Amino acid sequence: MPGPDLLSSQGLRLDGRRPNELRRIRCKLGVFTQPDGSAYLEQGNTKVLAAVYGPHQAAKSKMSTEGVVVNCQYSMATFSTGERKNRPRGDRKSQEMSLHLRQALSSAIKTELYPRSQIDIYIEVLQADGAAFCASVNAATLALIDAGVPLRAYACACTSSVAWRGSQPEPLLDVGHVEEAAGGVCLTVAALPSTGSIALLEMSHRLHMDYFEVVISRAMQGCRDIEVILDKAVREHLAEGWTKQDIVTI
């Protein structure tokens, strides 16, 4: 099957990564003081800020006695992509992204604990270089942890694509903007890696069923790798902010 040439003859990708390699992830928790929780995450050149407010009293129209209402707002900065473009918050793409984020994060949050409450999650993409949604999920997870919101597990998201080496499929992890634009298939997976459950799955373009298994397993591997990185960042943050008095002695 002919496809865009995403792998060099040495088996390296356009940006020099190996097929199973993530871009560098750097993250920081507690970047703001005003919200209850916040995080900044860089995945390669994709840069995302996340802020979490709540749980707080839900607005009357939204209130649910079943569990907490998760409210997401995804927005991209004017300067985030190659061409400057003013994106009003209500546009179709960011609305769709907000819905997806809500779906992915609601499955991680223990919503049943806080009836009649609401959690607001605000995402701002500062630079989009492929997989902005994944970076948003990962940043939102960190912000939720920073806010002390109870989670079932880390929610991590990762993309994968597929390239062809001869006639053999070679799945690519963590698709960058160039590879996305080259027009291959792009599978986005948001998962709770420690439980192995998938929270959200989205695919652009068509892919033969026979190859689906390898592509999704590579994406899941990416989610597990990301979880390790996030966990490390959380532990570092805890060690930095911990004070001896935090444990109440009875």
Partner 1 sequence: MSGHVSIKLASERVNPSVASNNEIPRFFTPGEVICGLGDFMRGHGTYLEDNNIKSSVAGVMQKVNKLICVHPLKSRYVGEIGDVVVGRVIEVQQKRWKVETNSRLDSILQLSSVNLPGGELRRRSAEDEQMMRQLLKEGDLISAEVQSIYSDGSLSLHTRSLKYGKLQQGVMVKVFPSLIRRRKNHFHVFSFGISMIIGNNGFIWISPIPRELTNEERNVNSDTSSPEVSKHERKAIARMKNCIAALASSKMMLDDNSLRYAYEESFKYLNVKDLLDTEAMLDVAFLTQHRINDYDED
* Binding interface with partner 1 (CB under 8 A): 33, 36-37, 54-57, 110, 114-117, 145-154, 192, 194-195, 231, 234-235, 237-248, 250
- In whole angstroms, the minimum distance from the beta carbon of 142 to partner 1 comes to 10
- The DSSP secondary-structure symbol of 66 reads S
- In whole angstroms, the minimum distance from the beta carbon of 25 to partner 1 comes to 16
- In whole angstroms, the minimum distance from the beta carbon of 105 to partner 1 comes to 12
Closer of 84 and 244 to partner 1 (Cβ)? 244
Handedness of CA 13, 19, 21, 22 (dihedral sign): positive
Alpha-carbon gap, residue 134 to 50, rounded angstroms: 12
- In whole angstroms, the minimum distance from the beta carbon of 110 to partner 1 comes to 6
Closer of 58 and 131 to partner 1 (Cβ)? 58
User: Which residues partner with 47 through β-bridges?
Assistant: 42, 127
The SS3 call for residue 107 is: coil
The answer to whether 87 and 94 are in contact (CB under 8 A) is yes
Alpha-carbon gap, residue 164 to 186, rounded angstroms: 14
Closer of 94 and 141 to partner 1 (Cβ)? 141
Closer of 57 and 217 to partner 1 (Cβ)? 57
- The DSSP secondary-structure symbol of 113 reads G
